[in-house]
Protein backbone atom coordinates (compact mmCIF):
# COMPACT_ATOMS: atom_id res chain seq x y z
CA UNK A 1 0.00 0.00 0.00
CA UNK A 2 1.06 3.55 -0.67
CA UNK A 3 2.47 5.50 2.26
CA UNK A 4 -0.04 8.18 3.27
CA UNK A 5 1.76 11.49 3.74
CA UNK A 6 -0.25 13.40 6.35
CA UNK A 7 -0.12 17.13 5.74
CA UNK A 8 -2.15 17.81 8.86
CA UNK A 9 0.58 16.23 11.02
CA UNK A 10 3.39 18.18 9.33
CA UNK A 11 1.35 21.40 9.47
CA UNK A 12 1.00 20.94 13.26
CA UNK A 13 4.82 20.62 13.49
CA UNK A 14 5.23 23.85 11.51
CA UNK A 15 2.76 25.59 13.83
CA UNK A 16 4.76 24.59 16.88
CA UNK A 17 8.01 25.88 15.29
CA UNK A 18 6.23 29.14 14.55
CA UNK A 19 5.10 29.52 18.16
CA UNK A 20 8.77 29.49 19.17
CA UNK A 21 9.72 32.08 16.56
CA UNK A 22 6.78 34.27 17.56
CA UNK A 23 7.86 34.09 21.22
CA UNK A 24 11.33 35.34 20.17
CA UNK A 25 9.74 38.17 18.23
CA UNK A 26 7.67 39.10 21.27
CA UNK A 27 10.95 39.61 23.13
CA UNK A 28 11.73 42.31 20.57
CA UNK A 29 8.28 43.88 20.96
CA UNK A 30 6.90 42.56 17.66
CA UNK A 31 3.65 40.62 17.22
CA UNK A 32 3.10 39.37 13.64
CA UNK A 33 -0.03 40.90 12.12
CA UNK A 34 -1.98 39.49 9.19
CA UNK A 35 -4.74 41.37 7.35
CA UNK A 36 -7.23 39.13 5.58
CA UNK A 37 -9.42 40.81 2.98
CA UNK A 38 -12.54 39.09 1.77
CA UNK A 39 -14.78 40.69 -0.86
CA UNK A 40 -18.25 39.28 -1.48
CA UNK A 41 -19.84 36.10 -0.23
CA UNK A 42 -18.27 33.17 -2.07
CA UNK A 43 -19.05 30.34 0.42
CA UNK A 44 -15.79 28.43 -0.14
CA UNK A 45 -13.76 31.62 0.38
CA UNK A 46 -15.52 32.22 3.69
CA UNK A 47 -14.59 28.72 4.86
CA UNK A 48 -10.95 29.14 3.78
CA UNK A 49 -10.63 32.57 5.38
CA UNK A 50 -12.03 31.44 8.70
CA UNK A 51 -9.63 28.46 8.71
CA UNK A 52 -6.71 30.81 8.07
CA UNK A 53 -7.76 33.09 10.89
CA UNK A 54 -8.26 30.26 13.37
CA UNK A 55 -4.79 28.95 12.53
CA UNK A 56 -3.28 32.43 12.96
CA UNK A 57 -4.84 32.67 16.42
CA UNK A 58 -3.44 29.23 17.37
CA UNK A 59 0.15 30.36 16.85
CA UNK A 60 -0.16 33.93 18.14
CA UNK A 61 -0.47 35.91 14.91
CA UNK A 62 -2.95 38.78 15.21
CA UNK A 63 -5.28 38.55 12.24
CA UNK A 64 -7.54 41.39 11.25
CA UNK A 65 -10.38 40.60 8.91
CA UNK A 66 -11.75 43.10 6.40
CA UNK A 67 -15.04 41.91 4.92
CA UNK A 68 -16.29 44.02 2.05
CA UNK A 69 -19.58 43.66 0.18
CA UNK A 70 -19.64 42.00 -3.24
CA UNK A 71 -20.33 45.31 -5.02
CA UNK A 72 -17.27 47.06 -3.56
CA UNK A 73 -15.60 49.38 -6.08
CA UNK A 74 -12.00 48.67 -7.03
CA UNK A 75 -10.94 52.14 -5.80
CA UNK A 76 -12.28 51.36 -2.35
CA UNK A 77 -10.37 48.09 -2.20
CA UNK A 78 -7.19 49.82 -3.39
CA UNK A 79 -7.62 52.45 -0.66
CA UNK A 80 -7.83 49.68 1.94
CA UNK A 81 -4.67 48.05 0.54
CA UNK A 82 -2.85 51.39 0.71
CA UNK A 83 -3.83 51.78 4.36
CA UNK A 84 -2.68 48.23 5.17
CA UNK A 85 0.59 48.80 3.31
CA UNK A 86 1.25 51.79 5.55
CA UNK A 87 0.20 50.11 8.81
CA UNK A 88 3.31 49.05 10.81
CA UNK A 89 1.27 46.49 12.83
CA UNK A 90 0.43 44.59 9.64
CA UNK A 91 3.20 42.35 8.24
CA UNK A 92 1.13 40.27 5.84
CA UNK A 93 -1.79 41.13 3.54
CA UNK A 94 -3.94 38.42 2.01
CA UNK A 95 -6.70 39.23 -0.47
CA UNK A 96 -8.77 36.09 -0.85
CA UNK A 97 -9.40 35.11 -4.47
CA UNK A 98 -11.55 35.00 -6.52
CA UNK A 99 -12.58 38.67 -6.52
CA UNK A 100 -15.91 39.87 -7.95
CA UNK A 101 -15.92 40.69 -11.69
CA UNK A 102 -15.86 44.50 -11.35
CA UNK A 103 -12.43 44.25 -9.71
CA UNK A 104 -9.24 43.59 -11.70
CA UNK A 105 -7.46 41.08 -9.46
CA UNK A 106 -4.04 41.76 -11.01
CA UNK A 107 -4.28 45.49 -10.19
CA UNK A 108 -5.17 44.68 -6.60
CA UNK A 109 -2.34 42.16 -6.20
CA UNK A 110 0.09 44.65 -7.79
CA UNK A 111 -0.90 47.22 -5.14
CA UNK A 112 0.26 45.11 -2.17
CA UNK A 113 3.82 45.98 -1.16
CA UNK A 114 5.94 42.90 -2.02
CA UNK A 115 7.31 42.65 1.54
CA UNK A 116 3.76 42.10 2.88
CA UNK A 117 2.61 39.88 0.02
CA UNK A 118 2.29 36.67 2.06
CA UNK A 119 0.48 34.95 -0.83
CA UNK A 120 3.51 35.48 -3.08
CA UNK A 121 1.31 36.70 -5.93
CA UNK A 122 2.90 40.13 -6.53
CA UNK A 123 4.90 40.31 -9.80
CA UNK A 124 8.09 41.09 -7.84
CA UNK A 125 7.72 37.90 -5.81
CA UNK A 126 6.73 35.93 -8.93
CA UNK A 127 9.84 37.31 -10.63
CA UNK A 128 12.08 36.38 -7.70
CA UNK A 129 10.67 32.87 -7.76
CA UNK A 130 11.25 32.54 -11.49
CA UNK A 131 14.89 33.62 -11.21
CA UNK A 132 15.44 31.42 -8.17
CA UNK A 133 16.43 34.50 -6.13
CA UNK A 134 15.23 32.85 -2.92
CA UNK A 135 14.56 36.20 -1.27
CA UNK A 136 10.89 36.54 -2.12
CA UNK A 137 7.69 35.26 -0.55
CA UNK A 138 6.62 31.99 -2.18
CA UNK A 139 2.93 31.07 -2.78
CA UNK A 140 1.59 29.00 0.10
CA UNK A 141 0.19 25.90 -1.65
CA UNK A 142 3.31 25.22 -3.77
CA UNK A 143 5.51 25.87 -0.73
CA UNK A 144 3.43 23.38 1.25
CA UNK A 145 3.76 20.81 -1.54
CA UNK A 146 7.55 21.20 -1.54
CA UNK A 147 7.75 20.76 2.24
CA UNK A 148 5.70 17.56 1.89
CA UNK A 149 7.90 16.32 -0.96
CA UNK A 150 11.07 17.03 1.01
CA UNK A 151 9.84 14.58 3.66
CA UNK A 152 9.84 11.68 1.20
CA UNK A 153 12.16 12.58 -1.69
CA UNK A 154 15.83 12.38 -0.66
CA UNK A 155 17.19 13.73 -3.94
CA UNK A 156 15.12 15.64 -6.50
CA UNK A 157 17.85 15.93 -9.11
CA UNK A 158 16.88 14.44 -12.44
CA UNK A 159 13.48 13.15 -11.30
CA UNK A 160 10.56 13.45 -13.72
CA UNK A 161 7.94 15.74 -12.18
CA UNK A 162 4.58 16.18 -13.87
CA UNK A 163 2.29 18.99 -12.72
CA UNK A 164 -1.35 18.80 -13.83
CA UNK A 165 -2.73 22.34 -13.82
CA UNK A 166 -1.14 25.62 -14.88
CA UNK A 167 -2.70 28.09 -12.43
CA UNK A 168 -0.79 31.08 -11.10
CA UNK A 169 -1.64 29.95 -7.57
CA UNK A 170 -0.35 26.37 -7.79
CA UNK A 171 0.78 24.86 -11.10
CA UNK A 172 3.15 27.53 -12.42
CA UNK A 173 4.91 28.39 -9.14
CA UNK A 174 5.23 24.73 -8.18
CA UNK A 175 6.77 23.95 -11.57
CA UNK A 176 9.37 26.67 -10.90
CA UNK A 177 10.17 25.27 -7.44
CA UNK A 178 10.60 21.76 -8.84
CA UNK A 179 12.77 23.11 -11.65
CA UNK A 180 14.93 24.90 -9.07
CA UNK A 181 15.51 21.49 -7.46
CA UNK A 182 16.62 20.19 -10.88
CA UNK A 183 13.65 18.00 -11.63
CA UNK A 184 12.68 17.59 -15.27
CA UNK A 185 9.33 19.34 -15.12
CA UNK A 186 6.34 18.91 -17.41
CA UNK A 187 3.39 21.26 -16.88
CA UNK A 188 0.15 19.94 -18.30
CA UNK A 189 -3.33 21.42 -18.55
CA UNK A 190 -6.77 21.01 -20.00
CA UNK A 191 -5.50 21.10 -23.62
CA UNK A 192 -2.65 18.65 -23.08
CA UNK A 193 -2.81 15.66 -25.39
CA UNK A 194 -2.09 12.18 -24.07
CA UNK A 195 -2.18 13.25 -20.42
CA UNK A 196 -2.38 9.70 -18.96
CA UNK A 197 0.82 8.65 -20.74
CA UNK A 198 2.62 11.81 -19.63
CA UNK A 199 1.43 11.34 -16.04
CA UNK A 200 2.66 7.71 -16.09
CA UNK A 201 6.22 8.92 -16.65
CA UNK A 202 6.21 10.89 -13.40
CA UNK A 203 8.34 10.10 -10.39
CA UNK A 204 6.56 13.04 -8.76
CA UNK A 205 2.97 13.59 -9.89
CA UNK A 206 1.10 16.68 -8.70
CA UNK A 207 -2.61 16.94 -9.43
CA UNK A 208 -3.82 20.54 -9.24
CA UNK A 209 -6.54 20.61 -11.86
CA UNK A 210 -9.61 21.07 -9.65
CA UNK A 211 -11.31 18.03 -11.17
CA UNK A 212 -12.60 15.31 -8.84
CA UNK A 213 -10.96 11.93 -9.42
CA UNK A 214 -9.28 13.05 -12.68
CA UNK A 215 -6.12 11.04 -12.03
CA UNK A 216 -6.96 7.36 -12.33
CA UNK A 217 -4.89 4.49 -10.99
CA UNK A 218 -3.46 3.67 -14.41
CA UNK A 219 -2.05 7.22 -14.72
CA UNK A 220 0.29 6.54 -11.79
CA UNK A 221 3.65 4.80 -12.13
CA UNK A 222 4.27 2.17 -9.43
CA UNK A 223 6.22 3.80 -6.61
CA UNK A 224 5.49 7.38 -7.71
CA UNK A 225 5.03 10.17 -5.17
CA UNK A 226 1.56 11.62 -5.75
CA UNK A 227 0.56 15.00 -4.34
CA UNK A 228 -3.16 15.69 -4.52
CA UNK A 229 -3.90 19.43 -4.42
CA UNK A 230 -7.58 19.07 -5.36
CA UNK A 231 -10.34 20.21 -3.02
CA UNK A 232 -13.58 19.26 -4.77
CA UNK A 233 -16.99 19.15 -3.14
CA UNK A 234 -19.13 16.35 -4.54
CA UNK A 235 -22.50 14.86 -3.60
CA UNK A 236 -22.01 11.61 -1.70
CA UNK A 237 -24.23 8.54 -2.07
CA UNK A 238 -25.85 9.37 1.28
CA UNK A 239 -27.01 12.74 -0.12
CA UNK A 240 -24.46 14.66 1.95
CA UNK A 241 -21.63 16.50 0.21
CA UNK A 242 -18.03 15.51 0.82
CA UNK A 243 -14.59 16.73 -0.18
CA UNK A 244 -12.49 14.68 -2.59
CA UNK A 245 -9.20 15.31 -4.36
CA UNK A 246 -8.14 15.22 -8.00
CA UNK A 247 -6.77 11.69 -7.57
CA UNK A 248 -8.86 8.51 -7.45
CA UNK A 249 -7.02 7.49 -4.28
CA UNK A 250 -8.69 4.08 -4.00
CA UNK A 251 -7.04 3.12 -7.32
CA UNK A 252 -3.55 4.24 -6.28
CA UNK A 253 -2.43 1.58 -3.82
CA UNK A 254 0.61 0.99 -6.06
CA UNK A 255 1.85 4.58 -5.62
CA UNK A 256 4.88 4.98 -3.35
CA UNK A 257 3.44 7.92 -1.44
CA UNK A 258 0.08 9.66 -1.60
CA UNK A 259 -1.30 12.74 0.15
CA UNK A 260 -4.85 12.37 1.49
CA UNK A 261 -7.78 14.71 0.89
CA UNK A 262 -8.73 16.13 3.31
CA UNK A 263 -5.71 16.32 5.62
CA UNK A 264 -3.00 16.60 2.96
CA UNK A 265 -2.08 19.75 1.08
CA UNK A 266 -4.91 21.90 2.54
CA UNK A 267 -3.46 22.22 6.07
CA UNK A 268 -0.01 22.79 4.57
CA UNK A 269 -1.28 25.80 2.61
CA UNK A 270 -2.48 27.36 5.84
CA UNK A 271 0.72 26.52 7.75
CA UNK A 272 2.76 28.14 4.97
CA UNK A 273 0.63 31.28 5.09
CA UNK A 274 1.47 31.52 8.81
CA UNK A 275 5.15 30.89 8.05
CA UNK A 276 5.23 33.57 5.36
CA UNK A 277 3.61 36.01 7.79
CA UNK A 278 6.21 35.27 10.48
CA UNK A 279 9.03 35.55 7.88
CA UNK A 280 7.62 38.93 6.79
CA UNK A 281 7.45 40.11 10.42
CA UNK A 282 11.03 38.97 11.10
CA UNK A 283 12.30 40.81 8.01
CA UNK A 284 10.44 43.98 8.94
CA UNK A 285 11.94 43.82 12.43
CA UNK A 286 15.38 43.82 10.77
N1 LIG B 1 -8.02 31.31 -3.43
C2 LIG B 1 -7.70 30.01 -3.60
N3 LIG B 1 -6.46 29.76 -3.12
C4 LIG B 1 -6.00 30.92 -2.64
C5 LIG B 1 -4.77 31.30 -2.01
O6 LIG B 1 -3.84 30.52 -1.81
N7 LIG B 1 -4.68 32.60 -1.66
C8 LIG B 1 -5.68 33.49 -1.88
N9 LIG B 1 -5.49 34.75 -1.51
N10 LIG B 1 -6.81 33.19 -2.46
C11 LIG B 1 -6.97 31.90 -2.83
The angle at the Cα of 161, spanning 131 to 260, to the nearest 5 degrees, equals 110
256-281 tens-digit pLDDT: 999 999 999 999 999 999 999 999 99
- Residue 119 annotated among the catalytic residues of the structure: yes
* Cβ-proximal residues to 280 (8 Å cutoff; 6+ apart), any chain: 32, 91, 92, 115, 116, 118, 137
DSSP secondary structure string for all residues of 117-168: -TT--SHHHHHHHHHT-S-S---HHHHHHHHHHHHH-S--TT-EEEEE---T
To test ligand 1's pocket by mutation, which of 119, 126, 229 has the most ligand atoms within 8 angstroms of CB? 119
Q: Which residue has the higher pLDDT, 281 or 238?
A: 281
Distance 218 CA to ligand 1 centre (A): 31
How many angstroms from the chain centroid is the CA of residue 26?
27
The answer as to CATH 3.90.950.10 being correct for domain 29-114 is no
Q: Peptide bond before 60: cis, by omega within 30 degrees of 0? A: no
Residue nearest to atom 9 of ligand 1 (CA): 96
Residue nearest to atom 8 of ligand 1 (CA): 96
Asked whether the beta carbons of 88 and 81 are under 8 A apart, the reply is no
Residue 196 pLDDT = 98
What does each C-alpha distance from 74 to 160, 268, 276 come to in angstroms? Answer: 42, 31, 26
How many angstroms from the chain centroid is the CA of residue 34?
16
Separation between Cα atoms, residue 270 and residue 141, nearest integer Å: 8
pLDDT band at 115 (very low <50, low <70, confident <90, very high): very high
Could you tell me the residue ranges of all domains in the chain? 29-114, 140-266
Residue nearest to atom 1 of ligand 1 (CA): 97
Distance 276 CA to ligand 1 centre (A): 14
- Predicted confidence (pLDDT) at residue 237 exceeds the cutoff of 90: no
The answer as to CATH 3.40.50.720 being correct for domain 140-266 is yes
Residue 21 pLDDT = 98
Same CATH topology for 29-114 and 140-266: the answer is: yes
Catalytic site residue from 116, 117, 119, 228: 119
Write out residues with Cβ below 6 Å of ligand 1.
Answer: 94-97, 119, 140-141, 169, 269
- Residue 218 annotated among the catalytic residues of the structure: no
Q: Which of 4-18, 148-162, 183-197, 228-242 has the lowest mean pLDDT?
A: 228-242
- Residue 74 annotated among the catalytic residues of the structure: no
Distance 169 CA to ligand 1 centre (A): 7
32-63 tens-digit pLDDT: 999 999 999 999 999 999 999 999 999 999 99
Asked whether the beta carbons of 236 and 17 are under 8 A apart, the reply is no
Amino acid sequence: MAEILRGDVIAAEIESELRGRIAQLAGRGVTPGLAVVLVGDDPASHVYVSRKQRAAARVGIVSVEHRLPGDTAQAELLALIAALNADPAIHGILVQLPLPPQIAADEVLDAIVPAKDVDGFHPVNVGRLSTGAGSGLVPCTPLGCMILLEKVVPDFRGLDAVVIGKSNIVGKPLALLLLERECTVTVTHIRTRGLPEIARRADILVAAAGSAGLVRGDWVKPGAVVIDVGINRIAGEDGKSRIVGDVAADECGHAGVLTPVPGGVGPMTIACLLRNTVDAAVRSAG
